[in-house]
Amino acid sequence: MGVAIVGRSIGYRLWQAVVAIILAVTPLSYIYVISLFFYLKDNHRTWLSTLQENSWVALFALSLLTLWMVIETLWFPYHHFTANRLRARRLPAHVAKSPEDRKRLYERCLEALGDHDAVKISISGWFFGAPIATIRRGNLRLWLAWAMFDSEPVDLSDSEMDEIEVFIDLTERASAVSFLQGHDRNVNCMRLTIDDMQMFHRPFIYYAAISAMHAIAAIFLHAQGFRGTSVTPSGSDFINSEHEPASPQRYFYRPARASAAKKSDSALPIVFIHGIGIGYLHYAPLIARLPRDVDVFLLDWPHVSMRLAESVPTIPNTVASISAMLAKHGHPRASFVAHSLGTAAVSWMIHAKPHLVASTVFMDPIVFLLVDPAVAYNFVYRKPSTVLELLMQYFVARELYIAHSLARHFNWSENILFKDELPSNVLTGQKNNMVILSSHDQIVPSAKVRRYLTNHPNVDLMWFDDVTHGELMFRKECMTVVQDRVYEACGLRQA
């Protein structure tokens, strides 16, 4: 991997060609099936005699090709109608339920951004980099209606619109900018859960290849001693504001080896949550290094693993499932390790069940400074200009089920984590939060997050130079450091 290749390089054009070939599978399948239909209509006898004259190998290959083409023609309408169905918005969701909570949240966000210039850059970023002077109060009302209510301005009450005026006043003070009245229709803003879901069609063969990768990952996990199981939350642990029934949460579990003598009575189990991509195959180098002296749990998120998973687990269901999972195995608390989107689940646990979170290891975390537009823009809206950006856009961000999970279920207010919310070790006074950042992260604003967390008394910051988002999994020197930190987080030391 390495540093992104800048510009329209030969590599960029080659990957564009690969994407074009994949996109061409569907129209070519229709051309093949339609042509075959009309050919057989008039030449079926000639076709049969031709088949009899060919070897069984040629016959098998032709049959396989025809079957594949037929499947692709049937897959397209299924994928198309599924995409149209998943585009529908869910009910507005926001963590702040009262005017006081919303005002406090917005003030904390502005404070986290920093000085006047930082606030101006952030506000401009939400409007696709429009000059701050072109952003008017009407534009801010549109953006703030989404940011603070997950709604359109027309759907808000008079009192809620009055709140938005207060938010605009707060923005003016924080940015030292007086926004003009009116609305500039040429200035657009990002509203992730309201904007149209952005996705590209993928042929059936694409998902077949992904399924093969997941099968390889399952074999790897089994070889590492993990066994798949599930838990369904129930009772007082499950409080669902959306009034949906509890759903099972699948996870992989590896118990501590019976022969291992614990190096500390306070050793903690590990709960690991993966990010967006191809599931645990991407994390094989890290999983192979996880300690065997403690129980290890790997949470399975198929909705962001390019599997055919329409159902997105709710926050209450996930929190309750993790709680039930730990209770099932007799653990009062755990060390939480997560990468990228997986850090959102750690944020949920810290907010809802802080007593279960003893320590954390955040890798390429998306939860800090979500008030900054970088994560939303870089993953969803940015037009690719480098090879890595192109690969991320087509092969990850614009996949149907991942796009649905983000565009309809990722609410910034439910996921954001402020530094003063991190768990603290009041008994020992030691830092029990490790945050690992990559200097060339093309999703997370790592430099801003680093500045935000620097000098925090309970955060141990690790900075990897010349590393992109997720690349630390494939850097031996990075994995050695991460392994050390994981051992420390769960109360062990490497032998």
Q: What is the pLDDT of residue 495?
A: 36
| Rounded percentage of the chain residues whose pLDDT exceeds 90 | 80
Q: What is the pLDDT of residue 44?
A: 67
DSSP per-residue letters across 179-210: PPSS--TT-----TTTSPPP-----HHHHHHH
Non-local (6+) Cβ contacts of 446 within 8 A are 364, 437, 438, 439, 463
Q: Which residue has the tokens 């994995």?
A: 479
| pLDDT over threshold 70, residue 102 | yes
Q: How many angstroms separate the CA atoms of 289 and 495, rounded?
A: 12
Q: What is the pLDDT of residue 48?
A: 62
Taking a C-beta distance cutoff of 8 angstroms, is the pair 249, 299 a contact? yes
Ranking 15-29, 43-57, 213-227, 267-281 by mean pLDDT, the lowest is 43-57
Q: What is the pLDDT of residue 241?
A: 52
Task: Express each pLDDT in 138-147 by its tens digit.
Answer: 999 999 999 9
DSSP label at residue 289: T
Task: Express each pLDDT in 304-360 by its tens digit.
Answer: 999 999 999 999 999 999 999 999 999 999 999 999 999 999 999 999 999 999 999
3-state SS of 84-127 is HHHCCCCCCCCCCCCHHHHHHHHHHHHHHHCCHHHHHHHHHHHC
| pLDDT over threshold 60, residue 494 | no
**Which candidate, 409, 402, 399, 404, places its Cα nearest to that of 244?**
409
| Rounded percentage of the chain residues whose pLDDT exceeds 70 | 91
Q: How many angstroms separate the CA atoms of 394 and 186, rounded?
A: 28
Domains and CATH numbers, the chain: 10-86 (no CATH), 99-175 (no CATH), 204-489 (3.40.50.1820)
Question: What radius of gyration do the chain's Cα atoms show?
Answer: 25
Q: How many angstroms separate the CA atoms of 191 and 89, rounded?
A: 12
Q: What is the pLDDT of residue 4?
A: 42
| pLDDT over threshold 90, residue 180 | yes
Q: Which residue has the tokens 């961000």?
A: 397
Task: Express each pLDDT in 228-278 by its tens digit.
Answer: 999 998 865 555 555 567 889 999 999 998 755 544 567 899 999 999 999
Mean per-residue pLDDT of the chain = 91
Q: What phi and psi, each to the nearest 5 degrees, are found at residue 66?
A: -65, -45
Query: Which position has the higher pLDDT, 422 or 238?
Result: 422
The SS3 call for residue 469 is coil
Non-local (6+) Cβ contacts of 107 within 8 A are 170
The SS3 call for residue 55 is coil
| pLDDT over threshold 70, residue 453 | yes
Q: What phi and psi, each to the nearest 5 degrees, are found at residue 348?
A: -60, -40
Q: How confident is the model at residue 51 (pLDDT cuts 50, 70, 90)?
A: low
Q: What is the pLDDT of residue 236?
A: 57
Q: Which residue has the tokens 């309750």?
A: 320
Q: What is the pLDDT of residue 489?
A: 92
3-state SS of 345-357 is HHHHHHHHCHHHE
Non-local (6+) Cβ contacts of 19 within 8 A are 390, 394
Q: How many angstroms separate the CA atoms of 131 and 377, rounded?
A: 17
Q: How many angstroms separate the CA atoms of 64 and 69, rounded?
A: 9
Q: What is the pLDDT of residue 361?
A: 97
Q: How many angstroms separate the CA atoms of 233 and 433, rounded?
A: 27
- The sheet carrying 433-438 orders its strands as 227-231, 249-254, 296-299, 270-273, 334-339, 357-363, 433-438, 459-464
Q: How confident is the model at residue 288 (pLDDT cuts 50, 70, 90)?
A: very high
Among 60-74, 226-240, 363-377, the range with the most confident prediction by mean pLDDT is 363-377
